[in-house]
């Protein structure tokens, strides 16, 4: 029997990998990437081998990619579903419609503890200066890329070049909103209302005109 194939199909191996992905998502969401060590991730799953992350993934960066590849397929599918509804309405989609398509799937995803684990994980990457990690896998998720491009195309030509940076800024706002709701244990119905308001604010911020001169 092929040893590598047996390892890939080993339920214990897959369970350990899944546990490491869960732990990395949770710890990076709370503390950011630079303060989360592979030893902490190993300890979080009760592993005695402190090199367990290297054994299963190679490096912490590879583990980050594994978290992305676990969550993004479902987000991409859901964005495609919401985008199809927008397409069916006809006409040019608005920034608010597209921001809803972009953001709502992040709000709908929750972890075992009921918190918005992946959105907060993305916030942790941004705080650590590692937001570019998501860009490395974006080509694998066409619906998410289409929503991004449509949002950028909604901007006036003079600020379109900063569209991706604007989206990073509003994503930070949205992930922070979810963290606040999680920390305050906001009931689900009220949380949905608050997040819809956050989407409206994010859409307004994304499409705001550029400053013509210094504010001070």
Q: Is residue 72 part of a domain?
A: yes
13 domain residue, yes or no = yes
Does 25 map to a domain?
yes
Distance from C-alpha of 134 to C-alpha of 122, rounded to nearest angstrom:
8
Backbone angles phi, psi at 108, to 5 degrees: -70, -25
Reduce the DSSP state of residue 130 to 3 states and report it: coil
Please tell me the total count of domains within the chain: 1
Report helix angle 95-108 to 117-127, nearest 10: 110
Asked whether residue 212 is domain-assigned, the answer is no
Has residue 140 been placed in a domain?
yes
Which tokens in the block code for residue 98?
């597209």
Which domain does 169 fall in, by range?
A: 3-206
Q: What is the pLDDT of residue 59?
A: 93
Our measurement of the distance from residue 14's CA atom to the centroid of its chain's CA atoms, rounded to an integer in Å, reads: 23
CATH number at residue 80: 1.10.357.10
Residue 189 located in a structural domain: yes
Question: How many Å apart are CA 26 and CA 32, to the nearest integer?
Answer: 10
3-state secondary structure of 211: coil
- Does 94 reside within a domain? yes
Nearest in space to 85 (alpha carbons), one of 3, 22, 143, 161: 143
Residue pair 101/83 in contact (Cβ under 8 Å)? The answer is: yes
Token duo for residue 161 = 């070049």
Sign of CA dihedral 176, 180, 181, 182: positive
Residue 215 belongs to a domain: no
Give the residue ranges of the chain where pLDDT is below 50.
1-6
């Amino acid at each position: 029997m092929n040893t590598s194939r047996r390892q890939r199909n080993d339920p214990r191996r897959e369970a350990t990998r899944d546990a490491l992905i869960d732990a990395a998502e949770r710890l990076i969401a709370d503390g950011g990437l630079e303060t989360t060590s592979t030893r902490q991730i190993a300890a979080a799953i009760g592993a005695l081998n402190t090199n367990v992350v290297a054994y299963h993934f190679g490096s912490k960066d590879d583990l980050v990619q594994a978290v992305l590849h676990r969550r993004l397929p479902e987000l991409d599918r859901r964005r495609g579903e919401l985008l199809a509804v927008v397409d069916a309405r006809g006409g040019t989609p608005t920034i608010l419609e597209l921001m809803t398509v972009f953001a709502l799937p992040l709000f709908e995803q929750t972890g075992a503890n009921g918190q918005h684990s992946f959105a907060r994980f993305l916030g942790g990457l941004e705080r650590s200066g590692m937001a570019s990690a998501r860009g490395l896998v974006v080509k694998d998720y066409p619906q998410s890329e289409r929503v991004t491009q449509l949002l950028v195309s909604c901007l006036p030509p003079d600020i379109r070049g900063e569209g991706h940076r604007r989206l990073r800024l509003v994503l930070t706002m949205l992930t922070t909103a979810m963290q606040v709701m999680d920390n305050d244990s906001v009931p689900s119905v009220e949380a949905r209302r608050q997040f819809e308001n956050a989407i409206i604010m994010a859409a307004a911020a994304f499409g705001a005109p550029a400053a013509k001169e210094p504010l001070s």
